[in-house]
Amino acid sequence: MKSIEIRKTFLDFFASKQHQIVDSAPMVVKDDPTLMFTNAGMNQFKDIFLGNMPRKYARVADTQKCLRVSGKHNDLDEVGFDTYHHTMFEMLGNWSFGDYFKEEAIAWAWELLTEVYKIDKNILYVTIFGGDEKDKMPKDEEAYNFWKKWIAEDRILLGSKKDNFWEMGDTGPCGPCSEIHIDLRSEEEKKKISGKELVNKDHPQVVEVWNLVFMQFNRMANGSLVELPAKHVDTGMGFERLCMALQGKQSNYDTDVFQPLIQHLSQLSGIKYGAEKMSDVAMRVIADHVRAVSFAIADGQLPSNNKAGYVIRRILRRAVRYGYTFLNFKEPFMHLLVPVLTEQMKGTFKEIASQQDLVRKVMMEEEATFLRTLETGIRLLDQQIQKAKAENKTEISGQDCFVLYDTYGFPIDLTELILRENNMTLNHAEFETELAAQKDRSRKDAAVDTDDWVIVKEGELTKFLGYDQLEAEVEILRYRKVKAKNKEQYQLVFSQTPFYAESGGQVGDTGYIETKSGEKIPITYTKKENLLSIHLADKLPQNPAETFKAVVDQKSRQATACNHTATHLLHYALRQVLGTHVEQKGSLVNDRNLRFDFSHFQKVSLEELVKVERMVNAMIRQNIGKTENREMNIEDARKLGAMALFGEKYGDKVRVMQFGDSVELCGGTHVNATGDIGFFKILSEGAVASGIRRIEAVTAENAEEFVYSFQRMAHEMRELFGGSGELMQAVTKVVEHNEKMNKQLAEMMAERVTEIQKRLVEDAIETGDYALIEIHAELMPEIIKDVAFGLRKELKNVVFIATGVNNNKPYIHLLLGDDVVAKGLNASAIIRESAKEIGGSGGGQPFYATAGGSNENGIANAMNKIKEMLQIKV
Cα-to-chain-centroid distance, residue 685: 22
Within residues 9-48, the interface with ligand SER by CB under 6 A covers 40-42
Site string for ligand SER, 284-323 (x = CB under 6 A): ----------------------------------------
Instruction: Tell me the pairing of strands 225-238 and 88-97.
Output: antiparallel
DSSP 345-378: HTTT-HHHHHTHHHHHHHHHHHHHHHHHHHHHHH
Stretch that binds ligand SER, among 232-240, 373-381, 528-536, 724-732 (CB under 6 A): 232-240
Within residues 86-125, the interface with ligand SER by CB under 6 A covers 93
Stretch that binds ligand SER, among 231-239, 367-375, 378-386, 746-754 (CB under 6 A): 231-239
Q: Shortest distance, CB of residue 40 to ligand SER, whole angstroms? A: 3
For ligand SER, give the closer residue by CB, 295 or 811: 295
For ligand SER, give the closer residue by CB, 103 or 538: 103
Burial of residue 376 (number of CB atoms within 10 Å: 0-12, 13-18, 19+): middle
For ligand SER, give the closer residue by CB, 166 or 494: 166
Rule CB under 6 A: choose which of 27, 29, 106, 213 binds ligand SER. Answer: 213
Site string for ligand SER, 54-93 (x = CB under 6 A): ---------------------------------------x
Nearest residue to ligand SER on Cβ basis = 236
Q: Shortest distance, CB of residue 26 to ligand SER, whole angstroms? A: 17
Angle at 426 between CA 422 and CA 431, to 5 degrees: 155
Helices 356-390/277-298 angle, 10° precision: 130
Rule CB under 6 A: choose which of 38, 235, 301, 495 binds ligand SER. Answer: 235
Instruction: Give how many residues touch ligand SER by CB under 6 A.
Output: 10
Q: Shortest distance, CB of residue 351 to ligand SER, whole angstroms? A: 22
Stretch that binds ligand SER, among 230-238, 332-340, 693-701, 801-809 (CB under 6 A): 230-238
For ligand SER, give the closer residue by CB, 166 or 500: 166
For ligand SER, give the closer residue by CB, 93 or 810: 93
Three-class secondary structure of residue 735 per DSSP: helix
Q: Shortest distance, CB of residue 508 to ligand SER, whole angstroms? A: 30
Within residues 156-195, the interface with ligand SER by CB under 6 A covers 166
Whole-angstrom Cα distance, residue 98 to residue 46?
A: 13
Q: Shortest distance, CB of residue 256 to ligand SER, whole angstroms? A: 24
Q: Residue 772: what are its φ and ψ, rounded to 5°?
A: -90, 125
For ligand SER, give the closer residue by CB, 216 or 235: 235
Task: Give residue 628's identity as a one-letter amino acid code.
Answer: E
Q: Residue 862: what are its φ and ψ, rounded to 5°?
A: -60, -45
Ramachandran category for residue 566: left, alpha or beta (phi over 0 → left; psi -120 to 50 → alpha):
alpha
For ligand SER, give the closer residue by CB, 40 or 396: 40
For ligand SER, give the closer residue by CB, 110 or 324: 110
Q: Torsion over CA of 127, 128, 131 and 136, rounded to 10 degrees?
A: 140
Q: Count helices and strands (H / E) in the chain.
A: 25, 37
For ligand SER, give the closer residue by CB, 21 or 609: 21
Q: Is the dihedral of CA 401, 405, 410, 413 positive or negative?
A: positive
Stretch that binds ligand SER, among 233-241, 327-335, 339-347, 397-405 (CB under 6 A): 233-241
For ligand SER, give the closer residue by CB, 93 or 466: 93
Three-class secondary structure of residue 167 per DSSP: strand
Within residues 507-566, the interface with ligand SER by CB under 6 A covers none
Rule CB under 6 A: choose which of 234, 299, 613, 664 binds ligand SER. Answer: 234
* Long-range own/partner contacts, residues 642-650 (CB < 8 A, 24 or more apart): 643/583, 643/584, 645/300, 645/583, 645/584, 646/26, 646/298, 646/299, 646/300, 646/351, 646/354, 646/355, 647/26, 647/28, 647/298, 647/299, 647/300, 647/301, 647/351, 648/26, 648/504, 649/25, 649/26, 649/44
Rule CB under 6 A: choose which of 26, 172, 236, 544 binds ligand SER. Answer: 236
Helix or strand (DSSP H, E) at 687: strand 680-689
Rule CB under 6 A: choose which of 83, 94, 96, 211 binds ligand SER. Answer: 211
Output the furthest CA–CA distance in the chain (Å, rounded).
111
For ligand SER, give the closer residue by CB, 41 or 858: 41
Q: How far is CA 7 from CA 61, 242, 294, 596, in A?
A: 11, 10, 20, 37
Q: How far is CA 577 from CA 244, 598, 688, 755, in A?
A: 49, 13, 20, 62
Q: Shortest distance, CB of residue 495 to ligand SER, whole angstroms? A: 31
| Contact positions vs ligand SER (CB under 6 A) | 40-42, 93, 166, 211, 213, 234-236
